[in-house]
């Protein structure tokens, strides 16, 4: 079955939860209202449904191949990428002064979801390029911007992030790639980088590597790391490409999933040194790289939503087609499609509700990003920045963990056929697994949520968010509709559980760090669940209004049912998670190391 973009749900979120009418009042976004959003999303859907989605299965069967230092991508990828670039999709959210379209993240995030649903392996190339563009926009000199941004934004060139080394995974203090300064202000780069997504490929004319390295004499640890632009091909004064730089792919990884995306091992400086250009100031590389990582972390969360949507669509189609057994209620006296069976409906509803809730969370976070960067009022910018920063580990951590549950359920709906590769259900599960690992594992997102987002301000930001949740909760509880009241009660129980955990984290992080961090991932999951459930509560309130009911009653009724399911079946997990964190901390670390 082919992919169909969930445009109605995306536009519902953009209009009612992200409030695109308010985003369109921000300076620079005046033309980016609902009408623009709809036009852009419809055009994006056509490209992804017709051109990029059909290549997904092909990429899994015929992945990127490495030979003699060259990487040949899946047949069809190169042509599709050219089409993607010519359509202006790489530049969707980037500044018009460098050839971008300057649209808000609120619209761009929906387009990113479609691209990843269509073909996650393909989508990784634009995703990493976006990160490189963000870093150059933030910290690059005018000269670097002039040389690289237009070509990256047009899709003629692509970008990479080079952090990881064989001995330095998440601990970047161990980075050993070195940079030697030259008299002309450039640097020679020497070292090995691993896990470089699209570090070598045949889809673009040049690859712009952003590389973490240490300048000779720099301090040890993270304070001595700088960031460099190292192009695959040198760029001449007139903008044309010159000789090959001394950076070479020595192999690509053989992976469980995202097989069409080449994951390269890159060697710098085997033939005298790769020429690199310093980005920003020396020894501030990690700070700049975090700009790329934050953009990429949000985008990976969207990947989780995207793969969940694709798995859900496939499972629904199979459940409607597969005939097996009579319905248990006796409504049919012959074997029926399995979608009639209550447990299959339970699985499909879990998939649907999880995906819609995370989509709503990501859309609202995107709108906060837009306000944080474009609102004329300093205080409003600050509040939205705090909101967005708090949401990033949730969008990344909760949505990607959700995608594993959803893609696993997708296989379960297929039964034995789900375990057979030819049906395609297993690919989504295999592809989804990397999402909880790259750009910072779920535990790293949870550490961020505990340390930077909760403990640092004594839980003030977290509690301020809980106050906002309470306002929605009160609206639900006061509503005449029984579904609204039921969702309000679940939201209240989850919010109170959340506050208990925030108090536990803020109160114990210094004196009993192990106890707090033992529950860090459960805390992230509880918080993501609550914030997603909050957005589903908001969505339900909108769906019950007479104007919404009159607009599209069938869609709105389905939204109410889905929100109620989310509350009863998923949000209801929150109090139990609270107990495991607050009451169960000691038993996580109690067993002696010898006993393992």
Give the model confidence (pLDDT) of 140-188 as tens digits.
999 999 999 999 999 999 999 999 999 998 888 899 999 999 999 999 9
- CA pair distance 6, 351, nearest whole angstrom: 14
* pTM more than 0.85: yes
Pairing of strands 65-67, 70-72: antiparallel
Q: What is the mean pLDDT of residues 471-479?
A: 98
Domain identity same for 170 and 95: no
Whether 321 is covered by a domain: the verdict is: no
Confidence label for 112 from pLDDT (cuts 50, 70 and 90):
very high
Question: What does the pLDDT read at residue 64?
Answer: 98
Domain boundary residue among 153, 184, 219? 153
Angle at 175 between CA 173 and CA 180, to 5 degrees: 125
Q: Give the mean model confidence (pLDDT) for residues 70-79.
A: 98
Domain-located, residue 290: no
Kind plus residue range of the DSSP H or E element containing 587: helix 585-589
Helices 285-321 and 342-374 pack at an angle, to 10 degrees, of: 150
Q: What is the secondary structure of 108-119 as a DSSP string?
A: HHHHHHHHHHH-
Of the candidates 165, 162, 161, 110, which has an alpha carbon nearest to the alpha carbon of residue 133?
Answer: 161
Instruction: Note whether 146 and 161 are same-domain residues.
Output: no
Say if 359 falls within a structural domain.
Answer: no
Q: Cβ-count burial of 554 within 10 angstroms (0-12 exposed, 13-18 middle, 19+ buried)?
A: exposed
Considering the domain architecture, whether residues 140 and 223 belong to the same structural domain is answered as no
* pLDDT at residue 1, as a whole number: 58
Phi first, then psi, for residue 456 (nearest 5°) are: -55, -40
Helix, strand, or coil (residue 198): coil
Give the Cα separation of 22 and 15 in Å (integer): 10
Number of Cβ within a 10 Å radius of residue 215: 18
pLDDT at 291: 82
Listing DSSP states for 280-294 in one string gives: SSTT-HHHHHHHHHH
Query: What string of H, E and C letters represents the secondary structure of 431-448?
Result: HHHHHHCCCCCHHHHHHH
pLDDT per residue as tens digits for the range 304-349:
999 999 999 999 999 999 999 999 999 999 999 999 999 999 999 9
In this structure, what token pair is assigned to residue 260? Answer: 């069409």
Residue 343 located in a structural domain:
no
Same domain, 59 and 173: no
Predicted confidence (pLDDT) per residue in 381-438, tens digit? 999 999 999 999 999 999 999 999 999 999 999 999 999 999 999 999 999 999 999 9
In this structure, the answer to whether residues 22 and 134 fall within a common structural domain is yes
Average pLDDT estimate for 193-200: 98
Residue 272 has pLDDT above 70, yes or no: yes
Specify whether 17 is located in the same domain as 148: yes
Q: Diameter of the chain by CA atoms?
A: 85
Residue 44 falls inside a structural domain: yes
Report pLDDT digits (tens) over 523-573.
999 999 999 999 999 999 999 999 999 999 999 999 999 999 999 999 999
Report the catalytic residues.
Answer: 439
Last residue of a domain, one of 235, 254, 283: 283
Domain for residue 213, yes or no? yes
Measure Cα distances from 318 to 322, 323, 352, 405, 423 in Å: 6, 9, 15, 18, 10
Q: How many domains does the chain have?
A: 3
Give the end of a domain, one of 153, 169, 192. Answer: 153
89 shares its domain with 218: no
Confidence check: pLDDT of 41 > 70: yes
Q: How far apart are CA 489 and CA 494, in angstroms?
A: 9
pLDDT of residue 293: 85
Q: From CA 317, how far away is CA 429, in angstroms rounded?
A: 17
* CA dihedral sign, ordered 19, 25, 29, 34: positive
> Distance between terminal CA atoms of the chain?
46
Shared domain for 205 and 84, answered yes or no, is no
Both 139 and 15 in one domain: the answer is yes
Which domain covers residue 273, as residue numbers? 157-283
Q: Are residues 144 and 170 in the same domain?
A: no
| Better pLDDT: 551 or 262 | 262
């Amino acid at each position: 079955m082919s992919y169909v973009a969930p445009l109605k749900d995306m536009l519902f979120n953009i209009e009612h939860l992200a409030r695109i009418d308010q985003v369109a009042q921000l300076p620079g976004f005046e033309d980016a209202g609902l009408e623009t959003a709809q036009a852009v999303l419809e055009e994006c859907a056509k490209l992804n449904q017709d051109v990029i989605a059909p290549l997904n299965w092909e990429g899994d069967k015929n992945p990127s191949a490495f030979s003699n230092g060259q990487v040949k991508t899946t047949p069809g990828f190169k042509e599709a990428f050219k089409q993607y670039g010519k359509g202006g999709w790489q530049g969707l959210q980037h500044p018009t002064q460098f050839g971008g379209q300057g649209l808000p993240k609120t619209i761009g995030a929906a387009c990113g979801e479609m691209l990843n649903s269509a073909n996650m392996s393909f989508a990784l190339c634009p995703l990493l390029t976006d990160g490189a563009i963000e870093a150059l926009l933030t910290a690059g000199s005018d000269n670097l911007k002039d040389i690289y941004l237009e070509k990256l934004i047009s899709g003629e060139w692509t970008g990479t992030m080079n952090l990881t080394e064989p001995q330095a995974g998440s601990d970047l203090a161990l980075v050993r790639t070195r940079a030697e300064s030259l008299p002309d202000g450039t640097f020679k780069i020497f070292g090995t980088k691993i896990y470089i997504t699209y570090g070598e490929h045949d889809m673009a004319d040049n690859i712009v590597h952003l590389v973490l390295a240490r300048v000779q004499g720099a301090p040890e640890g993270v304070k001595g790391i700088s960031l460099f632009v190292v192009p695959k091909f040198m760029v001449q004064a007139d903008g044309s490409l010159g000789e090959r730089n001394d950076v070479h792919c020595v192999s690509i990884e053989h992976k469980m999933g995202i097989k069409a995306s080449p994951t390269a091992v890159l060697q710098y400086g085997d033939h005298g040194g790769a020429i690199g250009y310093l980005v920003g100031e020396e020894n501030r590389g990690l700070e700049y790289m975090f700009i790329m990582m934050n953009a990429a972390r949000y985008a990976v969360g969207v990947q989780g939503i995207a793969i969940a949507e694709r798995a859900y669509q496939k499972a629904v189609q199979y459940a409607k087609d597969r005939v097996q057994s009579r319905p248990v209620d006796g409504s049919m006296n012959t074997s029926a499609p399995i979608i009639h069976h209550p447990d299959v409906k339970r699985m499909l509803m879990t998939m649907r509700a999880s995906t819609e809730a995370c989509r709503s969370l990501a859309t609202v976070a995107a709108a906060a990003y837009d306000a944080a960067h474009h609102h004329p009022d300093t205080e409003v910018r600050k509040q939205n920045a705090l909101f967005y920063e708090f949401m990033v580990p949730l969008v990344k951590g909760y949505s990607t963990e959700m995608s594993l549950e959803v893609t696993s359920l997708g296989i379960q709906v297929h039964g034995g056929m789900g375990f057979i590769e030819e049906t395609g259900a297993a690919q989504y599960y295999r592809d989804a697994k990397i999402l909880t690992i790259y750009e910072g594992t779920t535990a790293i997102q949870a550490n961020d949520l505990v340390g930077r987002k909760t403990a640092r301000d004594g839980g003030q930001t977290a509690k301020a968010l809980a106050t906002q949740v309470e306002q929605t909760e009160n609206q639900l509880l006061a509503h005449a509709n029984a579904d609204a009241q039921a969702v309000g009660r679940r939201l209240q129980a989850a919010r109170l559980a959340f506050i208990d955990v925030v108090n536990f984290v803020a109160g114990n992080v210094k004196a009993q760090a192990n106890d707090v961090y033992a529950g860090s991932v459960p805390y992230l999951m509880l918080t993501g669940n609550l914030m997603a459930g909050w957005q589903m509560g908001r969505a339900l309130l909108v769906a019950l209004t007479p104007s919404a009911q009159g607009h599209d009653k069938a869609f709105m009724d389905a939204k109410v049912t889905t929100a109620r399911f989310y509350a009863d079946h998923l949000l209801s997990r929150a109090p139990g998670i609270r107990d495991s964190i607050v009451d169960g901390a000691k038993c996580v670390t109690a067993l002696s190391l010898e006993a393992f």
